Structure 1
């Protein structure tokens, strides 16, 4: 397909590029392939990666004909419903990987990735998670695929094993600095195991996503019931404060001896991806999130509507995370005085994400079984 010439970039895009911020498509499904949307977004420089989520696939299966042909073919195949789901998402990922391959090659693997996940029911079964993840990566068989692994259950242990086996990993459902630190340690240990087995550190990578929208919503709900007189003033601050502390931890990790040894062998930094799975998230809310979370080498996952609005926006105010750990700590201290400990709330939010993922996956299974 011939893509249209790239129009002059908006002020917002220019500024994000200058700040080292990358953009991903967050509501990716087969429909964005068949109508040429993904190709246009990549050609226009708006998108450098995609996330395939069960909820987006389920919506496309019930509301479009994008999956009809493959579902008809799969109905004649002797396979379980779950195996058919993997066939669907693997085909989505292969096509997206091919579309993003020029970006992947041009940036030497810093951008151009595609993230997809395994069945959420496996979260407590490390052996099954590892097997399914490796099989899915083999089904896609592209160098720019990431397997999405949640931190719940046995997730981090499996993420380390996958990295050691040279499968790149997208760690999800992180809501606290504590969990992020564990994800960083998992990445370092996984790379060390891979290199100890004679593999180049450059052959594998990882990113960690933080769902700032749900973190803010969870904290604000607790603040609404707090008797602390300062509670109202703290609404909407927990997400940015956590992001600032996480980014400070990210910068510190790149200065430690373990990382200096790994980067000497070609390792890539473990990128941070800011996201919000609040549905529906308006384009304005998504762009407000971008403006509050700008820092070098970070990524934002946005729905297509927000990406298109951003392409017409005038600009942002620059880096909002670096050097702000002091103000972030003051917010966290104030939240604790109001009776809210983000590290404890994070575990409830992790479980809530896992439940939403399971429900969306079940909707896909139902759709497959109906064909």
Structure 2
């Protein structure tokens, strides 16, 4: 069995490692490479993966000179703004993949991955998603790169095609158990297609990320307007309840005959990544989320400040998701009595998540055009 490397620091970090929880850097950009920060975080065993977000890249381009030389070269080549964006994030990902390669090798591909996005405007066109994703993966040309695909529109269909073509995917914008189940089925079908074509199941992997903070915010807003006398007591519970039900579904997926056949061929489990798309989230809020969502083989993506705060945290109290199916169902039942069905909110939350991604991508395009 391979788990993430033990942290050299101790305390809360060792407690998370003992629970099988991995940590990722969520605001990765080239500045973390040029100043040696990423290398240090990896060497210390604190970070086992990174997420490259357009908003973080745009911020770094405006505040540092890390991208200046490449931007000048791309400008001289008369590349379009989107072509320049892809070239920039591919270079970032290639360097991060190299920095994380020792982790990737030591854990036999369970850790050491780098996730990067494609243009959100492609969400409704499966062929375009597949074409852009394959081109971007080829530009990075590393075995430990994941292409981030939103669950909306034709995202899941494209994810299945990519997995069949041996491109690893990170499925995002999932807010319900039902949509998570669809992502699991997509992973299984993608692996089955790949192995049917003679490819090793170990050649690809997948993540699914859930943002419980935006789910809580939407549900809490509805509870604030509810006449149900129990509404106030339910505030802040929808996200954790959903996470517990999703984790139960994850455990069930690893016990089915379909998965047993795939894992016999070397398939890796589809990992759950807990994250937040709230750019202004405080470190305290991020650490509270970590404490609420602890379970074996899961991942947390945290910004640099939260990782540093975690390094000085007193610690946690162990697994908070396993065996909590009953309590989660009671929360969902109570929400239903208050007129709130989480699954029915998921599509609106998915669409809002893609709009946030679109806004961040457009901001990055604007910064690149002005550089």
> Same fold per TM (> 0.5)?
yes
Higher mean C-alpha displacement, 335-344 vs 175-184: 335-344
> Secondary structure of the residue that 2:279 maps to in structure 1?
coil
Match for residue 271 of structure 1? 271
TM-fit CA distance, 1:67: 1.4
Asked if 1:364 is matched to 2:367, the reply is no
Higher mean C-alpha displacement, 175-184 vs 310-319: 310-319
Check whether the contact 2:33–2:39 (CA below 8 A) recurs between aligned residues.
yes
Match for residue 316 of structure 1? 316
Q: How does 1:1-371 map to 2 (within 5 A)?
A: 9-371=9-371
- The CA distance in 1 between the partners of 2:315 and 2:276, in whole Å, is 21
- The CA distance in 2 between the partners of 1:37 and 1:256, in whole Å, is 41
> Secondary structure of the residue that 2:300 maps to in structure 1?
strand
> Secondary structure of the residue that 1:75 maps to in structure 2?
helix
- The CA distance in 2 between the partners of 1:369 and 1:70, in whole Å, is 13
- The CA distance in 2 between the partners of 1:79 and 1:69, in whole Å, is 15
- The CA distance in 1 between the partners of 2:220 and 2:177, in whole Å, is 18
- For each residue in 1:47-72, what CA deviation from the matched residue of structure 2 results, as whole angstroms up to 9, or x when unmatched? 00000011111111222222122111
- For each residue in 1:122-147, what CA deviation from the matched residue of structure 2 results, as whole angstroms up to 9, or x when unmatched? 00011111100000000000000000
TM-fit CA distance, 1:78: 2.6
> Secondary structure of the residue that 2:147 maps to in structure 1?
strand
- For each residue in 1:99-133, what CA deviation from the matched residue of structure 2 results, as whole angstroms up to 9, or x when unmatched? 00000000000000000010000000111111000
TM-fit CA distance, 1:367: 1.5
- The CA distance in 2 between the partners of 1:8 and 1:163, in whole Å, is 35
| Residue ranges of structure 2 left out of the alignment (5+ in a row) | 1-5
- The structure-2 alpha-carbon separation of the partners of 1:262 and 1:364, relative to structure 1 and needing over 3 Å to count, comes to same
Check whether the contact 1:162–1:168 (CA below 8 A) recurs between aligned residues.
yes
- The CA distance in 2 between the partners of 1:343 and 1:59, in whole Å, is 34
- The structure-2 alpha-carbon separation of the partners of 1:8 and 1:106, relative to structure 1 and needing over 3 Å to count, comes to closer
- The CA distance in 2 between the partners of 1:84 and 1:209, in whole Å, is 27
TM value normalised by structure 1 = 0.97
TM-fit CA distance, 1:239: 0.6
RMSD: 1.1
- The CA distance in 2 between the partners of 1:41 and 1:284, in whole Å, is 20
- For each residue in 1:137-169, what CA deviation from the matched residue of structure 2 results, as whole angstroms up to 9, or x when unmatched? 000000000000000100000000000000000
TM-fit CA distance, 1:226: 1.1
> Secondary structure of the residue that 2:89 maps to in structure 1?
helix
| Residue ranges of structure 1 left out of the alignment (5+ in a row) | 1-5
- The structure-2 alpha-carbon separation of the partners of 1:228 and 1:124, relative to structure 1 and needing over 3 Å to count, comes to same
TM-fit CA distance, 1:10: 2.9
> Secondary structure of the residue that 2:209 maps to in structure 1?
strand
Check whether the contact 1:20–1:295 (CA below 8 A) recurs between aligned residues.
yes
Aligned length in residues: 366
Check whether the contact 1:273–1:301 (CA below 8 A) recurs between aligned residues.
yes
Check whether the contact 1:174–1:350 (CA below 8 A) recurs between aligned residues.
yes
TM value normalised by structure 2 = 0.97
TM-fit CA distance, 1:8: 5.3
Check whether the contact 2:137–2:167 (CA below 8 A) recurs between aligned residues.
yes
